[in-house]
Structure 1
Amino acid sequence: MPTTAPTASSPPAKRVGGTPIADVTASNSTLRRFLHGLPGVDAVGLEARAASLGTRSIKTTAKAYAIDLAISMVDLTTLEGADTPGKVRALGAKAAHPDPTDRATPTTAAVCVYPDMVAVAKQAVAGSGVKVASVATAFPAGRVALDVKLADVREAVDAGADEIDMVIDRGAFLSGKYLKVYDEIVAVKEACGDARLKVIFETGELSTYDNIRRASWLGMLAGADFIKTSTGKVAVNATPANTLLMLEAVRDFRAQTGVQVGVKPAGGIRTSKDAIKFLVLVNETVGEDWLDNHWFRFGASSLLNDLLMQRQKLATGRYSGPDYVTVD
């Protein structure tokens, strides 16, 4: 498992395929022409490849490595109306020491909370290396004015957030108002300051794989540090197929611009078996450069519990009782 990660994201892209990004985004019509000029997605081929990679088996030593790597990639998340400071402090403690009986267990990548809980989370993970991520821009619907979205971001950043997870205006995107979505991402990116920006598409609401590919490129053109599948608040969240498509997008974007962008599948990933399937997708599609929590994350809550149970099983040959891990 990588022990160090880059300290900063790649610089913003200036050109794509030899064309200045300023020209691509000069108007809604130029941006539409670019996005609709991307190759169409072969849905059957995409799903078949995702399913095929999901059948790969790995040996015990590789499984132990994969479980530790997956733990280190978890954004341990609580995004409920009933969140309290006590719950957030407990989550932060778990992120910093996932298994208190085994201090060799990696920390998670981050804890993810609402903006009003950022200060509490920051205090809870102090000194651990765990980042604090905050959803913003009126998560999960994003249906408020831009100035309200930017105030949401600034509140989180001022409280100490290291990362911001924003939602795009899916209504604008599906209406073909691509420049509006682009401009909002650019504005949020500026409001983030030094915090890294994850752009959430809510792929379950985008209807088609072609739309997911277009949203991926739109987010990256606007300066996203990560592209993220879902809020976890709708029926269809991260799937192997939509994550594979987004991995292909970041691979192709780097080939054209030299800029590397991370990927975060979120929602519905609950077991170690699921997580390992996604790591196989990463390895086979974009390679080792993305096998690090600086470039790949899992948005999850219950996933960590299963990873810890499976880790303990590999170490001792048996499962612990139901009280081995905390129930989130």
Structure 2
Amino acid sequence: MTTRELSRRTAVDILGDAPDDVTLRRFLHGLPGVDAVGLEQRAAALSTRSIKTTSKKWALDRIVGLIDLTTLEGADTPGKVRSLVAKAQHPDAGDPSCPSVAAVCVYGDMVPHAVAALGDRHGDPDEGGISVAAVATAFPSGRASLAVKLADTRDAVEAGADEIDMVIDRGAFLAGDYATVFDQIVQVKQACRRDDGTSAALKVILETGELNTYDNVKRASWLAILAGGDFIKTSTGKVQPAATLPVTLLMLEVVRDWHRLTGERIGVKPAGGIRTSKDAVRYLVTVAETVGEEWLAPHLFRFGASSLLNDVLLQRQKMTTGRYSGPDYVTVD
């Protein structure tokens, strides 16, 4: 059975019928509405949770190990990607105890350069390796034909990408054309399959800053998971607002509910706008309190960030000199 058929079977099991526009609309619009005030209050409360001081170093190292170090510029060159990979492998050249990041994230045409630069470090971040993630499907707009999106995905996978970060068609979603969005995710997931039967992980970018309401974020999260996404991701980083704590909390609640319903664990990736260790720690707390500390692993949680790493390294260095200026709360032990 193909990945696409498996996704459809899961959707039918949950929806009770084929995932067409009528069935998807009935399910998505039948979800309980989001209490915006309550959601924002929960996020604010989680952001002030206190914990043991001894966890600070653990938290900073954990943040490093969950980062997708990213360069997504039109001026990217093979040399820039090689420099990014060097930083990913040894974030703090002066401190060999500093962990490597989870992945490097690049455009599809830069994947071969990232794979080559990683060499034998290219591998599963849960086992000490570094993954290569590629943005695809006409990132960041998603405005292309399905044929182009699928070719974009297949090219990146064939070049060695371990993960594909796709963007949904926000125009179709906002127009209520849920079946189109669902089918595109299903087909992109099928394009993630390799000849040996393995598959690149699929992260589905919702671009929450364009979805306008928490209810839409909730519906898009459920739709992406029903269609077979392995991760749901907030943003491309090209649209503001990008990741916010309330939106990420809402997506984590969807993942929690999916796990309770099916037993399957889905990953979450907030991306864009997370620049300081203090901010990142708030996300760690939110993950631990919402879905559990087992989600604080690269196959279930990532930070999409570039500038975040620099601040975390600064805070690690300050801890060794006794001049730490980071947060007083980290995660719950």
Structure 1 counterpart of 2:183, one-letter code: D
**Distance in 2 between residues matched to 1:119 and 1:209, nearest whole Å:** 38
The amino acid of 1:180's aligned partner reads: T
Q: Secondary structure at the match of 1:125?
A: helix
Partner of 1:251: 256
Equivalent residues of 1:31, 1:179 under 8 A apart: yes
Q: 1:186 and 1:25 mapped to 2: Cα distance?
A: 14
Q: Distance in 2 between matches of 1:14 and 1:53?
A: 37
Q: What amino acid sits opposite 1:223 in the alignment?
A: G
Q: Distance in 1 between matches of 2:228 and 2:80?
A: 33
SS at match of 2:120: coil
Q: Partner amino acid for 2:287?
A: V
State whether residues 221 and 254 of structure 2, in contact with CA within 8 Å, keep that contact through their aligned partners in structure 1: yes
The 2-side partners of 1:146 and 1:205 are apart by: 21
Quote the offset at 1:21 in angstroms: 4.2
Does the aligned pair in 1 maintain the 2:208–2:242 contact within 8 Å? yes
Query: Residue 52 of structure 2 corresponds to which residue in structure 1?
Result: 59
Distance 2:32 2:237 in 1: 28
Decide which of 29, 38, 54 is 1:45's aligned counterpart.
Answer: 38
The equivalent residue for 2:78 is 85
Cα distance in 2 between the residues matched to 1:89 and 1:81: 16
The question of whether the paired residues in 1 share the 8 Å contact of 2:15 and 2:24 is answered with: no
Structure 1 equivalent of residue 269 of structure 2: 264
Give the TM-score normalised by structure 1: 0.91
Q: Secondary structure at the match of 1:199?
A: strand
SS in 1 for 2:181: helix
Hey, what does 1:192 align to over in structure 2?
A: 192
Give the letter aligned to residue 218 of structure 2.
Answer: R
Unaligned stretches of 5+ residues in structure 1 = 1-10, 320-328
Tell me whether 1:125 sits opposite 2:127 in the alignment: no
Question: Residue 255 and residue 87 in structure 1: after superposition, are their counterparts in 2 closer, same or farther (change >3 A)?
Answer: same
Aligned to 1:6: none
Q: 2: CA distance between counterparts of 1:96 and 1:309?
A: 17
Instruction: Please identify, of 309-318 and 67-76, the stretch whose mean Cα deviation from structure 2 is larger.
Output: 309-318
Residue 284 (structure 2) pairs with residue 279 (structure 1): yes
Q: 1:242 to 1:305 in 2, by over 3 A?
A: same
SS across alignment from 2:119: coil
Deviations 1:24-81 (A, max 9, x none): 4432001100011111000000000001111123333211111101100000000001
Instruction: Measure, in 1, the Cα distance between the counterparts of 2:49 and 2:15.
Output: 42
Distance 1:93 1:267 in 2: 22
CA drift at 1:20: 1.3
Q: CA 1:288–1:217 in 2, change beyond 3 Å: closer, same or farther? A: same
Partner of 2:236: 231
Is 2:305 aligned against 1:305? no
Match of 1:171 in 2: 171
2:55 partner letter: A
SS of residue in 1 equivalent to 2:236: coil
CA distances 1:228-248 after superposition (whole Å, capped 9, x unpaired) = 000000110000000000000
- 8 Å CA contact 1:25, 1:179 repeated in 2: no
What residue identity is the alignment partner of 1:257?
A: T
Could you report, residue by residue, the CA deviation over 1:112-148 in whole angstroms, capped at 9, with x for unpaired residues? 0000000001112222211000000000000000000
Evaluate the alpha carbon distance shift between residue 38 and residue 60 of structure 1 in structure 2; reply closer, same or farther with a 3 A threshold: same
Change (3 A) 1:60 1:314: farther
* Structure 1 residue 12: Cα displacement: 5.7
Could you list the per-position Cα deviations for residues 170-202 of structure 1 after superposition, in whole angstroms to 9, with x for gaps in the alignment? 000000000000000000000001100000000
Query: Could you tell me how far apart the structure 2 residues matched to 1:68 and 1:266 are?
Result: 19
SS at match of 1:111: strand
Q: Secondary structure at the match of 1:308?
A: helix
Which amino acid in the other structure matches residue 241 of structure 2?
Answer: V
Q: Secondary structure at the match of 1:204?
A: helix
Question: Which residue does the alignment assign to 1:215?
Answer: 220
Structure 1 position 163, deviation (Å): 0.2
State the 1:316 CA deviation.
Answer: 2.1
Identity %: 66
Q: CA deviation at 1:14?
A: 4.6
1:136 touches 1:152 (CA, 8 Å); kept in 2? yes
Secondary structure of 1:20's aligned partner: helix
Residue 31, structure 1, aligned to residue 33, structure 2? no
Match of 1:105 in 2: 98
Contact 2:269 / 2:302 at 8 angstroms: preserved in 1? yes
User: Against the structure 1 CA distance between its residues 32 and 312, is the aligned structure 2 distance closer, same or farther, given a 3 Å change threshold?
Assistant: same
Is residue 15–residue 27 contact of structure 2 (8 Å, CA) maintained in 1?
Answer: no
Supply the distance in 2 between the matched residues of 1:74 and 1:204 (Cα, whole angstroms).
21
Contact in 1 for aligned 2:69/2:88 (Cα 8 Å): yes
